[in-house]
C-alpha cells in the first residue's frame, strides 16, 4: 500500500516535470530559431482540395529553394475565411502572407493590416496596370496592398455533359439567354422523369452564383438601397428574380429547397450528386467540381439577357501582413508565388486565369489541360461578346447581411414566406444594418 | 409460510410468480438488448465503415463491409497536406495533458483549503465557487477572447491550458472538497502531533488518499478538453496547432472530394482514446458521475 | 497568559495565511479569468466595440437590439424549444432505462456500458459529423428505412426536422443521467415496493407513488443540469446545421459566436451573453421555486 502511494506520487511529479518542460521549451526554441536565421512564415488561403494541393506543392518547392524559410500553411474552405482573417487582424495575428480580396465583403479587413507591395523588391512588370491601379485605388494612401492572383471574369455555368448526353439533350452554348436556360432546365427535369433537376436554384440562399451575386451586389450597393430610387428599384428587381426562380422551382426545373439548402462547394454539390444538371459557380472552381465526379463537366458563360452581365475586377490578390516579423522573407514568398514560372505552372488556373502574363503564355505554350482550357474559353468568350462591368462598392456588413438574407431566401424556397414578405424583410435587414 | 407452499394454491401462486418474474426478466432483456443495439449501432457502423469502399459507406446499412478496404486509415492519416493526424493527436494530447495537470494541481490545493482550514470569508468564497460552477463559460467568450488577445495568447495553447492551472474548473474543486471532507479528521490531528507541516501532510498523506477523486477529475478534464471544439475554434488559427476536433472539421470542410472512409477512420481515431480510457477506468467514471452528477 | 494569547493569535493568522496560500491559484484565476472578463463584458455590452480601437458608448442600444431583433428572438425561441423537447426526452429515457436496469438484472455492467458510451463521445465533433451524414438525404437512416419500403427526406436540411435531429442527438446521450438515476434508485428501500405490492399496487402505481417521490431530488438535480446544458449547445449546431435551415437551429450561443467572431459585433455579442445568462438564471430560479411543490426531501429521516 505504501509503495503504491509512492509510485503514485512519483508518477505525478514526473508527469508534472515532463509537461512543464514543453511549455518553456517551446517558447525558448522559437526565440532561438529567430536568431538562427531559420525563419517561419505563415501563409493562408481558402479553397478546395485541388487548390490546397497546388499551394502545398508550390510551398514545398519554395522551401526547397529557401532552406532557411519554413512556410506554415493555414488553409480552410471558403466558409468563414474572411471572418477568421478579420479576427486575426484584430489580434495582430494575421499570417505573414495571405490571399484576400479588396472589394465587396473584403472591405471588413483593415487596410492597415496589409503592407505596401511597392516597399519590396517585387517585379510587377508582368501584371496588368489597370488591375494594379484598381488595387491601389482601394487604399486612400495610394499603397499597392496586394498582387493580383487572376485576371478573369468571375462566374461560369457548370454543365454536367454526361447527364445531358444520357438524357439526349443538346449542350447549351455561351450565347444562351436566361429563357433558354429555363427551357433547357425544364427539359432535363421532364426527360429524366423527375429524378434530375435542371439547375441549382440560385435564389434559395446559396452563397455563390450569378444570381447569388445579386445579394452580393445588394450588399455592395448599400448606399443605393437606402436612397428612395435605389430602394424601390432593388426591391422590384428582387421580386422579379424571386418570381422567376420560384416558377422554375415549382415546375421542377430548379432544385427543391431541400437540395439547395444543403448544396455546398464540394462533394455535396448537386452537380456532383447528380441532383442538378447545371449550376453557376466561380470560374476558378471548375477543377474542384470536376475532381469530385466521374461525369464530364463543361463550363460556359452564364446566360445573358435578364440579369447584369459579368465583371472583371481587381479580384483577389496575394498580400503581405504589415505586422510580419520577416517582411523580406514574406516578399520573397509572394514574389515566388506570383512571379516564378515553376510556381505558376503548378498553380495553373486554380484560382481563375492567372494575372501574370508570363504564366498565361507558359500555360498555353505547355498545352492547356481540360480544366484550364474551359476557363480560358469562357473568359475569352465573355470578354469578346459581353459588356463587362466592374465590380462596385463595399459594405462592411456584408457578411451579416448575407447570412440574414440566406435565411429569408430559404424560408421563401421552402414556401414558408411570400415573395412580398421576403423582399420586405430583406430590405428591412439592409436598413437595420445601415446599408 | 412454509406450510402454505405445500398446499396446492400456495404452490401454484409461487410457481406463477416465478414464471412471471422470469418472463418479465426475459422481456426486459429483449428490450434492453434491442434498445442497446440501437444506441451503439451508429458507432459500430462508423468503425466498420472505415473498411468499406466509399460508395458502400452510406449505401449499405449493414455493419460488415461487403468488400474490405484497408487503405482508408493511411489515407486519412495524411489527408491534410503538410501534417499528419499524428500531429493533431499530439496537439490534443498536449492540451489535455496540460489541462489535467493544471486541474489536479490547482483544484486539489483549493479543495484542501476549503475542506481543512478555517479562514475569514470562507463561506463567501465557497458560495462564489458554487456560482462559477453554474456559470456557462460560453457567456464569457467575448471578454475572454479580448483578454487573451491583449495578452498575446491567440493562436497558442495558452488560452486552452493556462486557466486550468488557476482552478478554472470549479466543478473539480467542489468534487475534491467533498471528497476530502469524507476523510476522517483524526488523520490530520495525529500527523500534526507528529510535527507534520500542512504542505507535507497534503503531499504525503492526503494526496494518496485523494487518488479516486483526482482520477475522476483527471478523466473528466481529459474528456472535456479532448472534445472541446469551441475553445480551439476561437483561439487556434494555425493548422500546425490544430487539435483533433478542428482537424476533423478542416478535413470535412476543405476536402472537396470527401473520402468518407478516410474521414470516418480519423473520426474513429479521435473517439478511440475516450472509449479506451472508459474501459480502463470505468469505475472512476461511474463514481464521478454518480457522486457529483457530472455531465458526461 | 498574554504571550500565550498572542501566540495563539499569531498561529491563527498563520493558518489564515496558509489557507489563502492554498487558495491563491484559484483566487488569481477567479479574478483574472472570470471576474475581470465578467466586468469587462458589462462594459462592452454598452459599447459598439468591434475590434476597432475607436468605439463609443451606446447606452442600452445593444440590449434593446438583443430583445427586439428578429434573429435574436428567433435564437431564444429555438433554444427554448430545444430545451423543452430535449431535456424531458433525455430524462424520460434515462429514468425508464434506469428503472429497467434496477430490478436486479444479469449483465448490468454490460448494459450500463452500452448505454453510457454515447454520452462519452456524443458531444464531440466526430459524432456531429456522423450525425449530419447519417440523417442526410442519402444517409444511413434513409437507407435503413428504405429497406422497409419507406422513402425518407433530408432530415437535416428540412426546417421542420432539423432541430428534431439535434434533439435526438441530445437524447441519445442519456447515459450519464441514467447512471445518476440508477444510483438513486439503489437507495430506495426494497421493503417499500414489497409492502406496496401486498397492498396491490401495480408497477405503474408503484413507480409514481414510490419511485418518483423518493428520487425526486435526483430528478430535480438532473433537470437543472440538463436545462443549463441545453442552453449551451454549440458544437452540434455549428457542425451539423450551422444554424440553418431558415435559422431553425440558430441557438443562442451560436448566434453570440456569429455576432462576435463572424460579424465582429463584440459589443452586441456581450449584451447577448448577458441576456443568455439572465435567461439561464431565471429558468434555474423558476426551477428551484417550482421544486418546492414536487421535490420530496427526506428531512425527517436524518
CB contact under 8 A, B142 and C256: yes
Quote ipTM for the complex: 0.89
Sign of CA dihedral A395, A396, A399, A400: negative
Question: Half-sphere exposure of residue C116, counting CA atoms within 13 Å on the CB side?
Answer: 28
Contact between residue A258 and residue C154 where contact means Cβ atoms under 8 Å apart: yes
CB contact under 8 A, C126 and B168: no
**First-residue to last-residue Cα distance in chain C:** 43
Would you tell me which residues 82-141 of chain B have a C-beta closer than 8 angstroms to some C-beta of chain A? 82, 94, 97-98, 101, 104-105
Q: Among partner residues A86, A262, A410, which is closest to C246 by beta-carbon distance?
A: A410
B47 vs A: CB within 8 A: no
The answer for residues whose C-beta is within 8 angstroms of residue C14's C-beta and 6 or more apart is none
Look at residue A391 in the predicted model and tell me its pLDDT. 54
Look at residue B105 in the predicted model and tell me its pLDDT. 93
The domain spans of chain C are 1-29, 61-294
Would you tell me which residues 140-199 of chain C have a C-beta closer than 8 angstroms to some C-beta of chain B? 140, 143-144, 147, 172-173, 175-176, 179-180, 182-183
CB contact under 8 A, A400 and C262: yes
Residues A252, A133 share a domain: no
Domain containing A352 — which CATH number? 3.40.190.10
A79 vs B: CB within 8 A: yes
Averaged over A202-225, what is the pLDDT? 52
Q: Is the peptide bond prior to B199 cis by the omega test (within 30 degrees of 0)?
A: no
Residues A304, A404 share a domain: yes
- Residues of A within 8 A of B239 (CB-CB) are 72-75
Please check the confidence at residue A307 and state whether its pLDDT lies above 60: no
Distance CA A387, CA A311 (A): 9
CB contact under 8 A, B208 and A9: yes
Partner residues linked to A197 by β-bridges: A276
Q: Among partner residues C44, C126, C173, which is closest to B271 by beta-carbon distance?
A: C126
* E strand or H helix that includes residue A197: strand A197-199
pLDDT band of B293, cuts 50, 70, 90: low
Please check the confidence at residue B102 and state whether its pLDDT lies above 70: yes
What is the number of CB-based contacts under 8 A between chain B and chain C?
A: 248
Please check the confidence at residue A217 and state whether its pLDDT lies above 70: no
Q: Which CATH number fits domain C61-294: 2.60.120.460, 3.10.450.50, 1.10.20.10, 1.10.3720.10?
A: 1.10.3720.10
Min Cα–Cα distance to chain A from C246, Å: 4
pLDDT tens per residue across span A349-402: 888 889 999 999 999 999 888 888 988 898 888 888 877 665 554 566 777 887
Residues A160, A68 share a domain: no
- Residues of C within 8 A of B203 (CB-CB) are none
Tracing cell 502511494 back to the chain, one arrives at A5
pLDDT band of A31, cuts 50, 70, 90: very low
Please check the confidence at residue B149 and state whether its pLDDT lies above 50: yes
Tracing cell 521549451 back to the chain, one arrives at A25
* E strand or H helix that includes residue B1: none
> What is the maximal distance between C-alpha atoms in chain C?
93
- Residues of C within 8 A of A108 (CB-CB) are 264
Min Cα–Cα distance to chain B from A41, Å: 11
CB contact under 8 A, C105 and B128: no
Q: Which of C129, C159, C162, C249 to mutate to test binding with chain A, by most A CBs within 10 Å of its CB?
A: C159
Residues A330, A424 share a domain: no
CB contact under 8 A, B81 and A292: no
pLDDT tens per residue across span A104-144: 678 778 888 999 999 998 999 999 888 888 888 888 888 99
Looking at the structure of chain A, the number of domains it has is 2
Residues A349, A410 share a domain: no
B256 vs A: CB within 8 A: yes
Averaged over C276-301, what is the pLDDT? 84
Q: Which own/partner contact pairs does A3-7 have at CB distance under 8 Å and 24+ positions apart? A: A4/B208, A5/B204, A5/B208
- What residues make up the domain containing A260? 155-309+397-432
The better pLDDT of the pair C244, C98 is held by: C98
Which residue in chain C has the smallest CA separation from A396? C263
Which residue in chain C has the smallest CA separation from A405? C246
pLDDT tens per residue across span A227-256: 344 455 577 777 888 888 899 999 999 999
Query: Residue A195 corresponds to which cell in the numbers above?
Result: 429524378
Distance CA A318, CA A112 (A): 15
**Considering only CA atoms, which of A229, B193, B138, B160 is closest in space to residue C37?**
B138
Q: Which percentage of chain C shows pLDDT scores above 90?
A: 55
Residues A202, A110 share a domain: no
**Considering only CA atoms, which of B35, B230, B250 is closest in space to residue C118?**
B35
Residues A302, A424 share a domain: yes
CB contact under 8 A, A273 and C138: yes
Q: What is the assigned CATH class of domain B75-292?
A: mainly alpha
Please check the confidence at residue C233 and state whether its pLDDT lies above 50: yes
Q: Among partner residues A4, A19, A47, which is closest to B97 by beta-carbon distance?
A: A19
Residues A318, A304 share a domain: no
Residue B228: C-alpha distances to residues A74, A363, B99, C215, C217 (Å): 20, 46, 12, 32, 30
pLDDT tens per residue across span A265-276: 667 788 888 999
Mutual angle of helices C70-102 and C162-172, in 10-degree steps: 40
The domain spans of chain B are 1-45, 75-292
Amino acid at each position: 500500500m505504501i509503495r503504491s502511494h509512492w509510485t503514485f506520487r512519483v508518477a505525478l511529479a514526473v508527469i508534472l516535470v515532463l509537461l512543464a518542460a514543453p511549455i518553456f521549451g517551446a517558447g525558448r526554441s522559437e526565440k532561438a530559431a529567430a536568431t538562427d536565421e531559420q525563419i517561419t512564415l505563415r501563409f493562408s488561403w481558402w479553397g478546395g482540395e485541388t487548390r490546397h494541393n497546388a499551394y502545398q506543392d508550390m510551398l514545398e518547392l519554395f522551401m526547397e529553394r529557401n532552406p532557411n524559410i519554413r512556410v506554415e500553411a493555414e488553409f480552410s474552405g471558403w466558409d468563414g475565411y474572411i471572418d477568421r482573417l478579420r479576427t486575426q487582424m484584430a489580434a495582430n495575428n494575421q499570417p505573414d502572407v495571405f490571399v484576400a480580396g479588396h472589394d465587396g465583403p473584403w472591405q471588413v479587413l483593415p487596410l492597415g493590416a496589409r503592407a505596401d507591395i511597392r516597399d519590396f523588391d517585387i517585379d510587377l512588370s508582368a501584371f496588368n496596370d489597370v488591375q494594379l491601379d484598381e488595387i491601389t485605388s482601394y487604399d486612400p494612401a495610394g499603397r499597392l496592398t496586394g498582387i493580383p492572383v487572376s485576371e478573369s471574369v468571375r462566374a461560369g455555368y457548370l454543365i454536367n455533359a454526361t447527364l445531358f448526353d444520357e438524357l439526349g439533350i443538346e449542350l447549351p452554348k455561351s450565347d444562351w439567354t436566361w429563357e433558354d436556360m429555363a427551357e433547357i432546365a425544364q427539359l432535363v427535369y421532364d426527360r429524366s422523369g423527375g429524378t434530375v433537376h435542371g439547375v441549382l436554384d440560385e435564389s434559395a440562399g446559396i452563397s455563390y452564383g450569378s444570381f447569388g451575386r445579386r445579394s452580393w451586389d445588394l450588399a455592395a450597393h448599400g448606399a443605393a438601397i437606402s436612397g428612395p430610387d435605389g430602394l424601390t428599384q432593388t426591391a422590384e428587381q428582387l421580386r422579379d428574380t424571386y418570381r422567376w426562380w420560384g416558377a422554375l422551382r415549382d415546375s421542377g426545373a430548379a432544385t427543391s429547397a431541400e437540395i439547395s439548402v444543403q448544396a455546398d462547394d464540394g462533394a455535396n454539390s448537386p452537380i456532383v450528386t447528380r441532383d442538378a444538371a447545371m449550376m453557376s459557380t466561380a470560374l476558378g472552381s471548375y477543377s474542384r467540381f470536376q475532381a469530385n465526379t466521374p461525369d464530364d463537366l463543361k463550363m460556359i458563360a452564364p446566360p445573358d439577357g435578364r440579369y447584369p452581365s459579368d465583371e472583371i475586377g481587381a479580384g483577389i490578390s496575394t498580400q503581405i501582413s504589415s505586422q510580419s516579423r520577416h517582411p523580406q522573407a514574406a516578399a520573397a514568398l509572394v514574389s515566388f508565388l506570383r512571379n516564378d514560372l515553376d510556381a505558376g505552372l503548378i498553380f495553373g488556373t486554380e484560382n481563375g486565369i492567372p494575372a501574370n502574363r508570363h504564366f498565361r503564355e507558359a500555360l498555353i505554350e505547355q498545352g492547356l489541360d481540360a480544366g484550364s482550357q474551359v476557363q480560358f474559353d469562357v473568359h475569352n468568350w465573355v470578354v469578346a461578346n459581353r459588356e463587362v462591368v466592374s465590380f462596385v462598392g463595399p459594405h462592411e456588413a456584408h457578411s451579416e447581411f448575407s447570412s440574414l438574407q440566406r435565411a429569408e431566401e430559404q424560408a421563401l424556397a421552402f414556401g414558408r414566406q411570400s415573395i412580398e414578405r421576403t423582399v420586405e424583410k430583406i430590405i428591412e435587414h439592409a436598413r437595420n444594418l445601415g446599408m | 409460510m412454509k406450510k402454505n407452499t405445500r398446499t396446492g394454491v400456495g404452490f401454484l401462486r409461487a410457481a406463477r410468480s416465478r414464471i412471471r418474474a422470469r418472463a418479465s426478466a426475459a422481456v426486459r432483456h429483449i428490450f434492453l438488448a434491442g434498445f442497446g443495439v440501437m444506441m451503439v449501432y451508429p458507432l459500430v457502423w462508423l468503425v466498420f465503415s472505415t473498411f468499406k469502399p466509399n460508395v458502400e459507406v452510406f449505401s449499405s446499412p449493414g455493419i460488415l463491409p461487403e468488400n474490405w478496404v484497408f487503405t482508408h486509415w493511411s489515407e486519412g492519416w495524411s489527408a491534410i497536406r503538410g501534417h499528419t493526424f499524428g500531429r493533431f493527436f499530439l496537439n490534443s494530447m498536449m492540451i489535455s495533458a496540460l489541462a489535467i495537470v493544471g486541474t489536479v494541481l490547482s483544484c486539489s490545493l483549493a479543495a484542501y483549503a476549503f475542506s481543512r482550514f478555517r479562514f475569514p470569508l470562507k463561506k463567501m468564497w465557497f458560495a462564489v465557487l458554487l456560482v462559477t460552477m453554474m456559470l456557462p463559460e460560453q457567456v464569457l467568450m467575448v471578454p475572454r477572447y479580448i483578454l487573451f488577445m491583449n495578452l498575446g495568447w491567440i493562436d497558442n495553447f495558452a488560452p486552452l491550458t493556462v486557466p486550468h492551472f488557476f482552478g478554472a474548473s470549479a466543478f473539480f474543486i467542489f468534487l475534491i472538497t467533498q471528497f476530502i471532507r469524507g476523510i476522517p479528521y483524526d488523520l490530520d490531528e495525529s500527523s500534526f502531533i507528529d510535527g507534520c507541516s500542512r504542505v507535507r501532510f497534503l503531499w504525503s498523506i492526503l494526496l494518496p488518499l485523494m487518488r479516486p477523486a483526482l482520477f475522476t477529475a483527471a478523466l473528466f478534464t481529459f474528456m472535456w478538453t479532448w472534445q472541446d471544439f469551441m475553445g480551439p475554434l476561437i483561439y487556434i488559427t494555425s493548422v500546425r496547432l490544430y487539435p483533433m476536433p478542428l482537424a476533423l472539421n478542416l478535413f470535412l470542410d476543405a476536402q472537396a472530394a470527401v473520402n468518407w472512409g478516410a474521414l470516418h477512420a480519423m473520426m474513429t481515431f479521435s473517439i478511440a482514446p475516450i472509449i479506451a480510457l472508459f474501459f480502463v477506468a470505468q469505475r472512476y467514471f461511474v463514481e464521478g458521475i454518480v457522486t457529483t452528477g457530472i455531465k458526461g | 497568559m498574554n504571550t500565550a494569547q498572542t501566540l495563539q493569535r499569531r498561529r491563527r493568522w498563520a493558518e489564515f495565511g496558509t489557507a489563502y496560500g492554498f487558495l491563491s491559484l484559484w483566487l488569481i484565476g477567479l479574478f483574472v479569468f472570470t471576474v475581470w472578463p465578467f466586468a469587462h463584458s458589462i462594459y462592452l455590452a454598452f459599447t459598439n466595440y468591434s475590434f476597432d480601437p475607436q468605439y463609443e458608448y451606446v447606452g442600452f442600444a445593444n440590449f434593446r437590439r438583443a430583445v427586439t431583433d428578429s434573429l435574436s428572438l428567433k435564437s431564444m425561441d429555438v433554444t427554448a424549444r430545444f430545451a423543452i423537447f430535449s431535456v424531458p426526452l433525455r430524462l424520460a429515457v434515462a429514468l425508464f432505462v434506469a428503472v429497467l436496469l434496477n430490478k436486479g438484472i444479469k449483465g448490468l455492467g454490460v448494459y450500463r456500458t452500452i448505454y453510457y458510451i454515447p454520452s462519452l463521445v456524443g458531444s464531440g465533433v466526430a459524432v456531429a459529423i456522423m450525425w449530419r451524414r447519417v440523417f442526410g438525404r442519402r444517409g444511413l437512416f434513409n437507407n435503413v428505412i428504405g429497406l422497409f419500403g419507406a422513402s425518407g427526406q433530408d432530415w437535416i436540411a428540412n426546417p421542420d426536422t432539423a432541430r428534431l435531429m439535434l434533439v435526438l442527438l441530445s437524447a441519445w446521450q442519456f447515459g450519464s443521467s441514467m447512471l445518476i438515476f440508477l444510483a438513486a434508485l439503489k437507495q430506495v428501500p426494497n421493503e417499500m415496493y414489497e409492502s406496496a405490492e401486498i397492498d396491490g399496487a401495480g408497477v405503474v402505481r408503484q413507480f409514481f407513488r414510490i419511485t418518483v417521490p423518493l428520487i425526486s431530488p435526483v430528478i430535480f438535480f438532473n433537470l437543472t443540469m440538463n436545462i443549463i446544458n441545453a442552453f449551451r449547445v454549440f458544437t452540434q449546431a455549428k457542425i451539423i446545421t450551422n444554424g440553418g435551415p431558415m435559422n431553425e437551429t440558430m441557438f443562442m450561443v451560436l448566434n453570440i459566436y456569429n455576432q462576435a467572431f463572424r460579424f465582429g459585433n463584440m459589443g452586441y455579442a456581450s449584451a447577448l451573453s448577458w441576456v443568455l445568462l439572465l435567461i439561464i438564471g431565471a429558468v434555474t430560479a423558476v426551477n428551484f421555486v417550482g421544486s418546492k411543490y414536487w421535490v420530496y426531501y427526506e428531512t425527517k429521516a436524518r
